[in-house]
Amino acid sequence: MSRNPAESAQEASAQQLLADAASRAQRYLADLPQRAVAPSAEAIARLAQLDVPLPEREQDAAQVLARLDDIISPATMAMAGPRFFGFVIGGALPVTVASNWLATAWDQNTGLYASTPGTSHIEDTPLRWLKEALYLPRDAAGAFVTGATVANLTALAAARHRVLAQAGWSVEADGLFGAPPITVIVGEEVHPTVLKALGVLGLGRNRVVRVPVDDQGRMRADAVPRIAGPTILVLQAGNVNTGAFDPVTQILPAAKAAGAWVHIDGAFGLWARATPKRALLAQGVEGADSWATDAHKWLNVPYDSGVAFVRDADALRAAMAITAEYLPTGGPLRNPSDYTPELSRRARGVDVWAALATLGRAGVAQMIDRCCRHATRFAEGLSAAGFEVLNDVVLNQVLVSFGTPERTRQVISALQQEGTCWCGNTVWQGRTAMRISVCSWKTNEEDVEQSLAAIIRVARG
């Protein structure tokens, strides 16, 4: 409650500021379907207006917000729109944008239960729901982190703890110098963020054993080396180019029997398990020891939002928990920070809760199925137009060649300029390709037909 006229005025202007932000955001979102997906060269050139010295004096907050909207909004990529098919990027569901605003207003530093009971408590529910939706073990510990990169890091830190503890070594206390060596096995098509996580953890980006893959990027089960001693095996659910899955049922049981820790990088592919139509693709991953996935990709919550699950909760806590006199411990439920690399952290669980509470199991399944159907339509439409689809379209990823590498790059660049939709490029097993990734709740049939027509028009032009 305000105590004097000056404070009342401040409060009124804070309210106005938030209302202004909301109407600017609404206008931005409403414009997205009409505008070119990529920002114009002119909008990017105007970013130079930001290059000014630090203001000496206080500025009017409403004008600061207006400047942000004027300069940045036009220079954004329309990732929140219905026809952005670059990388593997969803658009935030409306309820999650709203929940995110509310959680920002709460401004809860969600590391410790005692100081942030509401936003700490709520994490348990979406973690449980995610395990139910993805059919992961009910007793696995979970952690909301920034994305799959840090989810991989978090899970692999728990793996490092456990395999070394089994060899009589405490890595958290004594570090890696003098520790028994750990064998890390990955597929030739491992995502680079797994290698980054391994580098950060002192396990090395280059000292991994790389298993050859097939023409879809799947680890070859017959080429997995014999496992002995402390070992971490990383399998992939959802190749970032093809959408393909490592053959988990052919590899995991023997690896587990030999004592390896099996980790699944399922940044987007794990979501195949949320729909009966695609669940078989990721069959057997429930037998692993840890899993990394993203909520900001296929669950369509705002950035940034990833999730790690670890079957052995003690291993995760041993890798992550800290104590200090000034930090309250205990409370009726878990301290989120006992399971994450961060102490101070935003309440990421809120947006995941809002998405799952709104969609339910059926809504999630429909969203995943819809994206996969759109991907299949892209592949069919482009094949029918005479272009070569390079991958088996099993999920939401499509790779297309338009002829020579040069020609393919030209088509991609012309399409990005044309503006109807946005697709990126890649090199898949030596072939230059356009990469189409359908990941947004917003994309409908009309968007797909409109985008297909634009791609074909540009490629024939």
Ligand X SMILES: *Cc1c(COP(=O)(O)O)cnc(C)c1O
Is the separation of the CB atoms in 131 and 137 below 8 Å?
yes
**Chain residue whose CB lies nearest ligand X:** 147
Distance CA 112, CA 100 (A): 20
CB-nearer residue toward ligand X: 171 or 320? 320
CB-nearer residue toward ligand X: 35 or 205? 205
- Closest by CA to 140, choosing from 158, 148, 128, is 128
- The contact pattern for ligand X, residues 127-166, with x = CB under 6 A and - = no contact, is --------------------xxx-----------------
- The contact pattern for ligand X, residues 262-301, with x = CB under 6 A and - = no contact, is ---x-xx-------------------------x-------
Residue 190 CB, nearest approach to ligand X (Å): 9
Cα–Cα distances in angstroms (integers) from residue 316 to residues 172, 341, 360, in the given order: 11, 10, 29
CB-nearer residue toward ligand X: 116 or 152? 152
Residue 148 CB, nearest approach to ligand X (Å): 3
Residue 141 CB, nearest approach to ligand X (Å): 20
Residues 116, 119, 193, 451: which binds ligand X (CB under 6 A)? 193
CB-nearer residue toward ligand X: 240 or 368? 240
- Single-letter code of the amino acid located at 216: Q
Residues 81, 217, 306, 349: which binds ligand X (CB under 6 A)? 306
Distance CA 108, CA 121 (A): 12
Is the separation of the CB atoms in 415 and 423 below 8 Å?
yes
Give how far the C-alpha of residue 98 lies from the chain's centroid of Cα atoms, to the nearest Å.
20
- The contact pattern for ligand X, residues 30-69, with x = CB under 6 A and - = no contact, is ----------------------------------------
Residue 284 CB, nearest approach to ligand X (Å): 17
| 280-286 contacts at long range (C-beta below 8 A, 24 or more positions apart) | 281/237, 281/245, 281/394, 281/395, 282/237, 282/238, 282/245, 282/248, 283/248, 283/249, 284/248, 284/249, 284/252, 285/136, 285/235, 285/237, 285/248, 285/252, 286/135, 286/136, 286/137
Distance CA 72, CA 400 (A): 32
Q: Does 342 bind ligand X (CB under 6 A)?
A: no
**Per-residue burial over 219-252, b = 16 or more CB atoms within 10 Å of its CB, e = otherwise:** bbbeebeebeebbbbbbbbbbbbbbbbbbbeebb
Distance CA 44, CA 74 (A): 8
- The contact pattern for ligand X, residues 350-389, with x = CB under 6 A and - = no contact, is ----------------------------------------
Residue 426 CB, nearest approach to ligand X (Å): 12
Is the separation of the CB atoms in 259 and 227 below 8 Å?
yes
CB-nearer residue toward ligand X: 110 or 193? 193
Distance CA 430, CA 315 (A): 40
Count, residues near ligand X per rule CB under 6 A: 13
- The contact pattern for ligand X, residues 412-441, with x = CB under 6 A and - = no contact, is ------------------------------
Q: Kindly state the tokens that stand for 281.
A: 């693709």
CB-nearer residue toward ligand X: 268 or 378? 268
Residues 78, 80, 88, 315: which binds ligand X (CB under 6 A)? 88
Q: Taking the CB of residue 375, how many other CB atoms lie within 10 A of it?
A: 23
Residue 77 CB, nearest approach to ligand X (Å): 15
Instruction: Please tell me the chain's helix, strand, coil percentages from 3-state DSSP, rounded to the nearest 5.
Output: 50, 15, 40
Q: Taking the CB of residue 162, how many other CB atoms lie within 10 A of it?
A: 24
Q: Judging by DSSP bridges, how do beta strands 183-187 and 209-211 pair with one another?
A: parallel
CB-nearer residue toward ligand X: 144 or 268? 268
CB-nearer residue toward ligand X: 110 or 146? 146
Residues 92, 136, 158, 240: which binds ligand X (CB under 6 A)? 240
Q: Does 191 bind ligand X (CB under 6 A)?
A: yes
- Residues near ligand X, by CB under 6 A: 88, 147-149, 191, 193, 238, 240, 265, 267-268, 294, 306
